[in-house]
A and B are shown apart, each in its own frame.
Chain A
Amino acid sequence: MPKPAKTAIIVLAAGVIALSAVLVAFAVRHKRSVPAPIETQEPIMAATPPAPSEPAAKALPLLPPALSTGPRLRMATEPAAGKPLDETSLMTTLHDLAASDPPLSLRLAKEALDRFPDSPNAPEFNWNLVKALFNMGRLEEARKEAQVMVSKYPGNYFAGDVDHHLLNHPPNPTDIPNP
């Protein structure tokens, strides 16, 4: 075969391959933009901040100026352009915080209870609220909250936990008059 013809064939083949690649890329992109089925949309919708008019969607109160600039605080309360955390993220954040920042845990637990009072997670949010008070040394407030929790969630594990540890726990040796 003459050399020019061979070159033309090679160029033509390369063009076909390139065109195919473009078409495949377009198809993939197009496929990704197709709306997901309803059942996979639901969790995404649940994670979207509810409309401001919804009573259960109260936004977190404004943070004091001194706190609002903290990078971790901003991450915990303003995950995306000031939108409040969804329920799952609130719980995850509380778990991650553990005992490291009781004031922030208290705020998040309060917010969670305000926004999701009927959630199956409400007892655990309430536990975090009680525990944050306890960790801050606000023992009497913790005990009062524990009493409310016990009456509100009878038989629940988290209610039983605060009942035992704050309302029915053994005395300190120093509290025993004549040991």
Chain B
Amino acid sequence: MNGTGGTSTGGATGTGGVKATGGTTGTGGSPGTGGTTTTSPCSVTPVSPGSSPQAQKLLCYLYSQYGNHVLSGQQESNWNANPTDISWYNTNIGKYPAIDGSDFLYTNGASCTSVTVSTTRAIAYWNAGGLTMFRYHVGEPVAGSTCAQDCYMGANCAEPTTAATSSLLTNAITAGTAENTAWNNRLDYMAVQIGAMKTANVPIILALFHETQSNGWFWWAQGTAAQFVALYKYSFNYLTVTKGLNNIIWLMPYSGTPAASFYPGASVVDIAGGDTYGTNQPFTSLYSSVKGIAGSTMPLALHETGLIPTPSQMFPTAAPWILFNIWAGYETSNNTVANIKSVYSDSHLITRDLVPNLK
């Protein structure tokens, strides 16, 4: 974050907000009426230079809710052109999650310079009152590759062997190398998607280097911590300065074993988080680990989980995640309708209908 101060006040769901439910201790009841479309200013601003008004409002909103509410999220099965993960909630739970989780990995037939179905869906979700969060299981930027060759895991990919990863991590951010051209191509592809959202005034929570940890599953976390931090900062500068994208909320997305050495610093991170496929929800130790790195004021996200956490066990101090995001398909394979219904009726939970107008 930029600026000073901790948890801000005057957030969007406080009294007088668009869909106020009683301020910080809201009941999670039905949307309020008669609100305005403005969000109170707060003491934090996004790290993206010249951040958009919507990004500012979103970050202020996250700060205002941190510690007292949790935003619900669901990852979509973006490999399908018409994923049903989100609509499943409306059918079975009667409410939509606040956050539509997506992945830039799947172009669904679009070119690397075209707006994808996932981006279009994200814009539509924002227009329907929700929020969007993207990650990118980006393939290794081997020489000559583009987003069309993204292949992030498997026997037919250039990865996952780590033998050549170290030099690749260096070359990816070294001007004049073929790997740098390939990495810039990936960033350009992302810029097309995020740019479309910027044009539509949609802020995006971006978990770019998904599941970062030492010895991580993906190439960006298989070198040294210094290499990762350099790659992160290069990408941050490319997207924000070179491409002028100011609608990004930068989420530093740790995996289950966060390492401080991989933290790129508060100057390029708006919120941080961890993810887990454990069963010991609300994942207090993971929360504490991330908090130990990112600090006690920055909102922390459970940006990917197999099991839905129980808000009554999260608050007030055990693990007050600002959001959770159930992985694609896991809403049915790892959770029960009864359990999700129970969580969705908790007064701490923010569903799409309770997200204020941040436009």
Contacts and interface: CB of A to CB of B under 8 A. Distances in A.
Interface of A: 95, 97-100, 102, 131, 134-137, 139-140, 155-157, 160-161, 163-165, 168-176, 179
Contacts of B81: 179
Contacts of B144: none
B154 A175 contact: yes
Nearest to B110: A179
Given A98-B214, A179-B109, A135 B161 contact: yes
Given A164-B327, A168-B333, 14 more contacts: A131-B215, A135-B222, A137-B155, A139-B154, A157-B279, A161-B256, A163-B277, A169-B153, A172-B150, A172-B157, A173-B151, A174-B150, A179-B106, A179-B108
A176 B277 CA distance: 25
Contacts of A174: 149-151, 156
Interface in B148-194: 149-157, 160-162, 165
Contacts of B280: 157
Contacts of B151: 172-174
Contacts of B255: 161
Contacts of B278: 155-157, 160-161
B290 interface: no
Interface string B244-279: 000000000001100000000000000000001111
Contacts of B77: 170
A175 B152 CA distance: 11
A99 B150 contact: no
28 contacts: A99-B162, A99-B214, A100-B162, A102-B162, A131-B215, A135-B161, A135-B215, A137-B155, A140-B155, A155-B278, A156-B278, A157-B256, A157-B276, A160-B276, A160-B277, A161-B256, A161-B276, A161-B278, A163-B277, A164-B277, A165-B217, A170-B79, A170-B328, A172-B153, A173-B105, A175-B156, A176-B79, A179-B109
A139 B107 contact: no
A173 B277 contact: no
A157 B305 CA distance: 11
Interface in B317-345: 327-329, 333
B79 A136 contact: no
B105 A135 contact: no
Contact of A173 (B79, B160, B327): B79
A171 to B, nearest CB: 6
Contacts of B121: none
Contacts of A169: 153
B306 interface: yes
Interface of B: 77-79, 81, 103, 105-109, 137, 149-157, 160-162, 165, 214-217, 222-223, 255-256, 276-280, 306, 327-329, 333
Nearest to A155: B279
Q: Which of A97, A102, A175, A179 has the largest number of chain B CB atoms within 10 A?
A: A179
A169 to B, nearest CB: 6
Give 4 closest A-B pairs by Cβ, nearest first: A160-B277, A157-B278, A98-B215, A137-B161
B306 A160 contact: yes
Nearest to B161: A137
Contacts of A156: 278
Nearest to B157: A172
A61 B327 CA distance: 42
A139 B155 contact: yes
B217 to A, nearest CB: 5
Nearest to A94: B215
Nearest to A142: B160
Contacts of A160: 276-279, 306
Contacts of B78: 170
Nearest to B223: A99
A171 B306 CA distance: 17
A17 B184 CA distance: 75
Contacts of A97: 215
Nearest to A169: B153
A131 B213 CA distance: 13
Contacts of A155: 278-279
Nearest to B280: A157
Contacts of B153: 165, 169, 172
Contacts of B277: 157, 160-161, 163-164
Contacts of B154: 139, 172, 175
A164 B255 CA distance: 12
Contacts of A95: 214
Given A98-B215, A169-B153, A137 B160 contact: yes
Contacts of B103: 170
A159 B209 CA distance: 22
Contacts of B162: 99-100, 102, 135
